[in-house]
Amino acid sequence: MRNVIKAVCAEVCTMLLNKNESYGNSAAEPLRIFSKTNTIEQINVRIDDKLSRIMRGHEYEMDDTELDLIGYLILKRCVRRIKEDNETTNSR
């Protein structure tokens, strides 16, 4: 099981790094053309969309909705950690 966990985590990491490069870090630094909500809330909306697709059984054929969902949850945690680290640095 240990090796499978490592392999799945590596798969998620590779996917996140590739998407981050392709989309220009849009999850953590969105352009905010229409939506002005904060980054965490924007990620929450994406998570809601993915959960909705899973619940309704309307996943896109070429998408891996489960992998995307895992990725958004990790991105949410990363954005929160960066924000906390910045707040700690700025309060010094």
**What's the CA gap between 32 and 67, in Å, rounded?**
25
Q: What's residue 58's pLDDT?
A: 79
Q: What's residue 4's pLDDT?
A: 97
Residues 6+ positions from 32 with CB-CB distance below 8 Å: none
Q: What's residue 79's pLDDT?
A: 93
50-76: per-residue pLDDT in tens?
999 888 987 777 888 899 999 999 999
Give the position of tokens 């053309």: 33
Q: What's residue 31's pLDDT?
A: 82
Residue 46: both structure tokens together? 């994406």
Q: Which residues of the chain have pLDDT under 70?
A: none
Residue 67: both structure tokens together? 């992998």
pTM (2 decimals)? 0.84
- Domain residue ranges in the chain: 2-90
